[in-house]
Structure 1
Amino acid sequence: MSIEELGAYGIREMDDEQIRRFLSNQRVGVLGLPEEDEPYLLPLSFGYDGDERLYFTYLVGSDSRKTVSSEMAERASFLVFKVDTMYNWQSVLLSGTITAVPESEWDELTDLLESVWRPDVLGSAHLSGGLAVYEFRIDDRRGITHQGLPPELEKRIE
């Protein structure tokens, strides 16, 4: 079914401003990188510049699959979603390019990356790898939202 057909059930397409507000208030999503047999999916926290870029901090080892996949990817996808109830949720799918940010530019991103949520284990565990910062440049964005009950349940409440 199309978004238009699902409109009768309370599903709406988000406009650019709604998508920006949504991304500004979220901190976690799933990065999809192309690989030969199937996509490589990574749950990641992110920083958002409020416009067209997301930033990820990778913890990398000497043989990091996410680094190799990111470096080889011509295109990538990023899914951010929030589910409050089965009748109240939002989802934004982004597509774009992903590139490593040179370490010489990391200082410019300090404020943006400090607000990024990270699991506690990443701050407290002894990690043998290094860090890398990647920029995801958004080329296309689509968002949908569902807020409210479907028509058949609204009729029961009346």
Structure 2
Amino acid sequence: MATDELQAYGVREMSDDEIEAFLSVQTTGVLGLPDDAAPYLLPISYGYDGDRRLYFTYLEGAGSRKTTLSERADAASFLCYAVDTLYNWESALLSGSLNRVPESSWDEIDDHLADVWRPALLEDATLSGEVSVFEFRVDDWTGLKHQGLPPALEPSSE
């Protein structure tokens, strides 16, 4: 179903400012990396710089698939979404490129990663594992949101 058809159900496209605000308050999403058989999807936390760049912290093990795929990807996708109720949700789909951030530049982006949600497992493993940071530079984005009942379910004012 096309986006314009979804408007009858109360769904509408988000403006650039709404997408920007949405990304600024969320901290998790799904990174899609190209792979031979099918896209490799990875739930991941992120920091957003407010200027169309997201930052991901990777905990790497030997032969890390996400690192290998990230380094060879010409393009990647990222889906961020929040669902509060059946009739109150938002999602933003981003496409762009990934680049490793040199460790010498980590201090410059530290503020963007300071409040990122991370599972306790990642925090514990970070102390003993190799860590890298990747920048996702957004080339294009689109967002949808639904807030409130669909028009057909709204109480009548009669």
- State the distance in 2 between where 1:61 and 1:121 align: 14
Q: TM-score, normalised by structure 2?
A: 0.94
Matches within 5 A, 1:6-155: 6-125=6-125, 128-155=128-155
Q: Which amino acid aligns with 2:49?
A: D
- Report the count of equivalent residues: 158
Q: Secondary structure at the match of 1:105?
A: helix
- State the distance in 2 between where 1:64 and 1:98 align: 16
**How far did 1:81 drift?**
0.1
What percent of counterpart residues are identical? 61
- State the distance in 2 between where 1:82 and 1:151 align: 21
- State the distance in 2 between where 1:150 and 1:64 align: 44
**How far did 1:125 drift?**
4.3
Structure 2 contact 59–126 (Cα < 8 Å) conserved: no
Structure 2 contact 19–143 (Cα < 8 Å) conserved: yes
Structure 1 contact 61–128 (Cα < 8 Å) conserved: no
**How far did 1:124 drift?**
2.7
1:32-60 alpha-carbon deviations (Å, 9 max, x no partner): 00000000000000000012100000000
**How far did 1:129 drift?**
2.8
Tell me which moved more, 2-11 or 118-127: 118-127
Q: Which amino acid aligns with 1:140?
A: D
Distance 1:126 1:78, change over 3 A: closer
- State the distance in 2 between where 1:125 and 1:115 align: 18
Q: Secondary structure at the match of 1:122?
A: helix
Q: Which amino acid aligns with 1:61?
A: G
- State the distance in 1 between where 2:93 and 2:84 align: 18
Structure 1 outlier segments of 4+, above 4 Å? 125-128, 155-158
Q: TM-score, normalised by structure 1?
A: 0.94
**How far did 1:126 drift?**
7.3
**Any gaps of 5 or more consecutive residues in structure 1?**
none
RMSD: 1.6
Distance 1:70 1:157, change over 3 A: farther
1:97-117 alpha-carbon deviations (Å, 9 max, x no partner): 001001111111111111111
